[in-house]
Copies of this chain bind each other. A is one copy, B any other.
Amino acid sequence: MPGDSFGHSFRITTAGESHGPGNVVIIDGCPPGIPLAESDLTGDLARRRPGQSRIVTPRKEPDAPEILSGVFEGKTTGTSIAILIRNVDQRGRDYADIRDKYRPGHADYTYDAKYGRRDYRGGGRASARETSVRVAAGVVAKRIIASAFGGRVIGYVRQVGDVVAEVPDPAAVSPERVERLPDGAPNMVRCPDAARAAEMVALIDRVREARDSIGGVAEIVAVGVPPGLGEPVFDKLKADLAKALFSLPAVLGVEYGVGFGCAALRGSENNDLFRPAEGAAPPAGPRVVTGTNRHGGMLGGISSGMPIVLRAAVKPTSSLPREQATVTTGGGPTTIRTKGRHDPCLLPRFVPMAEAMVAIVLADHWLRWRAPAGPQDV
């Protein structure tokens, strides 16, 4: 059964592989009147793109998006938006060395088990190429939440290997700090703690030279989200956010707020106590805040109005430019050595993917909710 759509009221459906003509997303449910042009998409696409710095894969992919529908005179029409990103033509390359082998840590074996066949030239749908159109859709989602409630999603790298950044207030991290170091140089690793950023880059350099790769943790923060987003049972906001992040390649863990740290806490330590907030009340009642945010902005699966703070663990790249033992598609033992140019660390390019997925979930839940919330609106 199909699994290429995500979201309900704001829904994206994607198609495309790493080695086919291109990737497409159809965005369904975008409200009319949102300004949108192809040039709006290039910023986040450039953050995801290979070749953006020396610590990511040097492959060349221009990632030029074409909007095929749903926009008229510079604004969305309210009908479905299709965006196409063509792949660089790779005909003529030689795939003999990977055609009949299962790459460790990749989906080659599981695709064959599932479908009985696969495009052996690359990861197919499992390739990170597929996320390019998610990032494009994420730009649309970011515009919706900004316009709807002033919401903003910011991701950054929290950990690479054993280097863990200090981020005293996740809600205060600025996009500028994620993209630029204090001296104005590009923040290649997208870590807002400049000292740790330098250590992370040094670690990635060492790992690459060792023909190895390294894992890490990204943190994604959504600020300005009003209380009330999320459905009470299965479609809890935390559940849809977790699914969104786990749907990205290489993610092995997701947590929010205090996360796995809650296991060692007592209730009296973990509870965030409510107190009255200053400022305007939301439509349905008083404005309430908590002094701490161990609940990561969600209670009962519904946004509380506090910043939403999520973390995703990303495994080290499985493709390694060194010999690894594996099996052939016929079932016999062999070895494999990746020749393509791969990322020594996925985290810098993971950040815009994760931001996009979080923004898509927030746009979706906003549109699911603001279908009338009460009889006064009906």
Contact = CB atoms under 8 A, between A and B. Distances in A.
A369 B217 CA distance: 32
- Among all A-B residue pairs, the 6 with the closest Cβ atoms: A107-B300, A3-B231, A286-B331, A3-B235, A253-B255, A2-B28
Interface string A51-88: 00000000000000011111110010111111010000
Contacts of A259: 252-253, 313
Copies of this chain assembled into the complex: 4
B84 A316 contact: no
Interface string A116-133: 111100011110001000
Contacts of A84: 24, 68, 84
Contact of A370 (B112, B124, B283, B372): B372
A224 interface: no
Contact of A252 (B80, B260, B374): B260
Given A75-B117, A243-B240, A215 B263 contact: yes
A272 interface: yes
A185 interface: no
Given A9-B9, A29-B371, 8 more contacts: A79-B115, A104-B274, A144-B378, A214-B266, A233-B247, A235-B247, A260-B313, A274-B327
Interface in A214-258: 214-217, 226-236, 238-240, 242-244, 246-247, 249, 251-258
Nearest to A315: B262
Interface residues of A, number: 174
Most buried by B among A115, A126, A265: A115
A14 B32 contact: no
B115 A77 contact: yes
A355 interface: no
A168 interface: no
A167 interface: no
Contact of A116 (B72, B105, B239, B376): B376
A226 B109 CA distance: 12
B82 A16 contact: yes
A116 B76 CA distance: 11
Interface stretch (A40-48, A175-183, A186-194, A318-326): A318-326
A332 interface: yes
A340 interface: no
B375 A313 contact: no
A287 interface: yes
Contacts of A198: none
A68 B24 contact: yes
Contacts of A317: 267
Given A281-B331, A318-B271, A256 B260 contact: no
A374 B26 CA distance: 20
Interface in A273-323: 273-276, 281-288, 290, 295-296, 298-305, 313-320, 322
